[in-house]
Structure 1
Amino acid sequence: MSHRKTVIVGSGCFGLSTALHLLKRGWEDITVIDKAPTLPAPDGASNDFNRIVRTSYSDPFYAALAQEAIQEWRIADEWGDTYHESAVLVLGSPSGYEYTRESYKNDSAMGLRVDSLDTLAAVQSVFPANVPVGNFAGLTGYLNRDSGWANAGQGVSILISKITELKGNVISGKRVVDVLHADSSLKASGVRCDDGTILEADLVVLATGSWTGSAFPQYTIGNLYRATGQSVAMVQLTPEEGIIYQDIPVVLDFETGFYIFPPNDKHIVKMAIHAAGYTHSLGDQNISTPRTILSNPDGGLRIPSEKVRDLRAGLHSVYSELAKRPFISTRLCWYNDTVDGDWVIGYHPDSENTVLLATGGSGHAYKFLPVIGRLVADAIEGKLDPPVAEKFSLTRKPVQTDESRHDNVQELDLNSLCTPEDLANLY
């Protein structure tokens, strides 16, 4: 098994983590290939200056897996200062938003350092006294001190280095346009790139994130996943303000989806909304396809004007003074969202165990970077527990809908994208 020639298409958290875990298991012929001219990919969801790392999930499976990931993130010899344990402030409604309630139960059951915050004063008390905060619209919640954020691009770069140290191959600047087949079936024999390069393989892993549906429609089953763009914006602080705000927690409002980070080393504060995003449908099959800085250099970072307003309102509810600042930049970050929010990890049923999909991150995969490849490697080797394999199966019948991402998705209107004037429009 360990001698199967393997090509992993995509250098995001699924692809790189899978390569590392296979190499650690003795697999010897592993190639990761990505269309981006440089790595980490400038338009990849796994490349950013921060991503939330939290255990706070209503699903015990993800909560426990996140705890394992955080134990790995904390190993400085492996990850340096990639992970920052700033704590995560988890917010919900006073009546007890179900996701928040269940997340608190799971975090408490795992013995994590969590503080219940049942009043507005308690919520405000988690911030430094000299940080002006908003009224939080009467929200309550809890503080999880065993969570924080990770420098996403740094984590990806470290993983690439680990793979090359273990004699894995990482290739950039080659776009895979087709999976080759030995016959008329979907049994794979390799991949072909847009420049004519052919890489032979006994196993092809499609870890292509939000490009999966548009790049490899032949491996899509039903309507399990689709690419959606999520809106992100940034505010610049002065160095003096960066010091004032440096000890704030990540704030995550499960009710609205708004979240915001502490400032990074350049004193930039990033915020986003985990909510229904935007599709960008192209081609004869009308498949949602990412529109990024690489595909659209002149406008691929612009977000809809309505989301600029939503982000500013969210910012005002948390940090009222910062809402008076212009946004210095925006980004439409693309994810592969599944109907139920669970990932897609498994062999395509018609590929005779030669094509495996590892995708469907649904906006919550990066935090698992150190461990997610273990799940994929187990799936490749047929070692996943049956309930877990079914949870991530390509052919599963979703029993629930991820309402936070799946409902109310809109088609991207290119005529309504933000302008410089929108970004300067203060609250």
Structure 2
Amino acid sequence: MAQQRKTLIVGSGCFGLSTALELLKRGYQDVTVIDRAKTLPAPDGASNDLNRVVRTSYADVFYSKLAKDAIDLWKTDEWLDTYHECGVLVLGSPDSTVDYKDQAYLHDLAMNLRIEPLESQSALRKVFPPEAIVGSFAYHTGYLNRDGGWANAGQGISILMSKVTALNGKIITGKGVTELIQHGQSLKTTGVRCSDGTDFEADLVVLATGSWTSSAFPDLPMGNIFRATGHCLAMIQLTPEEGDIYRQCPVILDFESGFYIFPPNEQNLVKMAIHTAGYSHSIGPQKISTPRTATSDPETGLRIPRANVKQLRDGLRTVYPTLAEKPFVATRLCWYNDSLDGDWVIGYHPQSENSLVIATAGSGHAYKFLPVLGRLVADAIESKLSPALVAKFALDRTPTHVDESRHDEVQELDLDQLCTSDDLQ
């Protein structure tokens, strides 16, 4: 009976497309994905980017094991060359009170991954090719996990879209949802209404709308478990000769400062970012944090606060001091839907009579799970999740901890403090 349910998925990012594919693999006959964007992958979606870190290094063993399962699939031919296994250098401070790195190390070690402890500056520097000019790594210790790297984010989403359509799933663009179709005082959902006046009827609606979830559905009771936050990134352009050198470097992830950086891609672009609590952008009468992107604000939607430009350059200088003299060729505020505890939200809305599933709150660490993420949502739809995971991902849960990978407080975005082109030089 479940396979006969007409299923509508709102959102074509990680959660939406991976769920569609998994349901189709399980024999669901009528699966439709709709998205507000006119072209896909969505230009301003968090899932559409140069790259995303693929790592097993988590303080939570659940995500460590799930990431290992995902990496095993990333390596298969069906994902082509999306995944690049360059290794992940995990850094921290020996004096830090944050034990995220140490817990992650123990989990990686327990899974028999290719781990190299690096307890000295000289050991850390030997990770890099001799031609690369690197920082001193003073006051750092860490380890290299060779079973990790990065994934071409846009390419992975494009492959997933082709898989969905190959199994007769439908993907429809340019359909921004304005409201859920519900009846009376009940939250039982029978479809959605779009901004162009079209309605989509369904037996089951899955909201996989990422950082737009709260602002798109302000009247849907969802508590305060998550909110949209913008995170700063920047890119530099290397010469082909520099690209050949630094392409041999690992992804660097500093859990102490939050700074992380990728090796150059095929176009010799190097992306860097800071894993922090990010920025909110509160608008409307309810002051709901809402993504501000190049789509909503074409002139300044890609700009980041100038203070973060300096922060990114300082982080770059500690790792690759000579590259820090290059101008930033692009910046972006990448919008996540962050939960308070860093865990995802996956499951039926508790008041929807099993007609509405929420699949969101990627919290900046969902993309690496793209090959396996849909299994969790499909299991939630079919009531197959373990009781522990039901509680872990519940929309109405009471968080028992905070996301320990983020060390500061969310700030409200000040549009008067955005960078200009001069700040990027």
Fold conserved between structures, TM > 0.5: yes
- Counterpart position of 2:273: 272
1:403 CA drift (Å)? 4.2
- Counterpart position of 2:201: 200
CA distance in 2, matches of 1:50, 1:367: 10
Amino acid at match of 2:268: H
1:58 CA drift (Å)? 0.6
1:404 CA drift (Å)? 3.9
What secondary structure does 1:371 align onto?
helix
- Counterpart position of 2:315: 314
- 1:117 matched to 2:105: no
Is the CA contact (8 Å cut-off) linking 1:233 and 1:330 kept in structure 2?
Answer: yes
Is the CA contact (8 Å cut-off) linking 2:210 and 2:360 kept in structure 1?
Answer: yes
Which range moves more in the overlay, 400-409 or 224-233?
400-409
- How far does the alpha carbon of each residue in 1:100-125 deviate from its partner, in whole angstroms, 9 at most, with x for none? 00000000000000000000111111
CA distance in 2, matches of 1:201, 1:369: 25
What secondary structure does 2:138 align onto?
helix
Is the CA contact (8 Å cut-off) linking 1:277 and 1:405 kept in structure 2?
Answer: no
CA distance in 1, matches of 2:386, 2:408: 30
Is the CA contact (8 Å cut-off) linking 2:121 and 2:138 kept in structure 1?
Answer: no
CA distance in 1, matches of 2:404, 2:284: 27
- Counterpart position of 1:90: 90
1:182 CA drift (Å)? 3.4
Percent same amino acid among aligned pairs?
A: 65
- Counterpart position of 1:226: 227
Equivalent residues in 2 for 1:28-427, closer than 5 Å? 28-76=29-77, 78-95=78-95, 97-405=98-406, 407-424=408-425
1:219 CA drift (Å)? 3.0
1:218 CA drift (Å)? 2.9
Is the CA contact (8 Å cut-off) linking 1:2 and 1:26 kept in structure 2?
Answer: yes
Amino acid at match of 1:135: S
1:49 CA drift (Å)? 1.2
Is the CA contact (8 Å cut-off) linking 1:213 and 1:220 kept in structure 2?
Answer: no
Is the CA contact (8 Å cut-off) linking 1:114 and 1:145 kept in structure 2?
Answer: yes
User: How many residues are treated as equivalent by the alignment?
Assistant: 423
1:405 CA drift (Å)? 3.8
CA distance in 1, matches of 2:247, 2:300: 31
CA distance in 2, matches of 1:364, 1:357: 17
CA distance in 1, matches of 2:109, 2:405: 24
Is the CA contact (8 Å cut-off) linking 2:56 and 2:64 kept in structure 1?
Answer: yes
1:301 CA drift (Å)? 0.4
- Counterpart position of 1:15: 16
- How far does the alpha carbon of each residue in 1:68-125 deviate from its partner, in whole angstroms, 9 at most, with x for none? 000000002x100000000000001023640000000000000000000000111111
CA distance in 1, matches of 2:362, 2:216: 17
Is the CA contact (8 Å cut-off) linking 2:100 and 2:405 kept in structure 1?
Answer: no
Amino acid at match of 1:80: L
Is the CA contact (8 Å cut-off) linking 2:6 and 2:30 kept in structure 1?
Answer: yes
1:330 CA drift (Å)? 0.2
Structure 1 pair 186–407 and aligned structure 2 pair: CA distance change class (3 A): farther
Structure-1-length-normalised TM-score: 0.98
- How far does the alpha carbon of each residue in 1:1-24 deviate from its partner, in whole angstroms, 9 at most, with x for none? 101111100000000000000000
Give 5+ residue unaligned stretches, structure 1.
none
Is the CA contact (8 Å cut-off) linking 1:337 and 1:406 kept in structure 2?
Answer: no
Give 5+ residue unaligned stretches, structure 2.
none
Amino acid at match of 2:422: E
CA distance in 2, matches of 1:73, 1:399: 32
Backbone CA RMSD of aligned residues: 0.9
CA distance in 1, matches of 2:304, 2:67: 30
Structure 1 pair 349–412 and aligned structure 2 pair: CA distance change class (3 A): same
1:407 CA drift (Å)? 4.1
CA distance in 2, matches of 1:412, 1:403: 22
CA distance in 2, matches of 1:107, 1:241: 32
Amino acid at match of 2:372: V
CA distance in 2, matches of 1:80, 1:66: 18
CA distance in 2, matches of 1:112, 1:179: 45
Structure 1 pair 368–144 and aligned structure 2 pair: CA distance change class (3 A): same
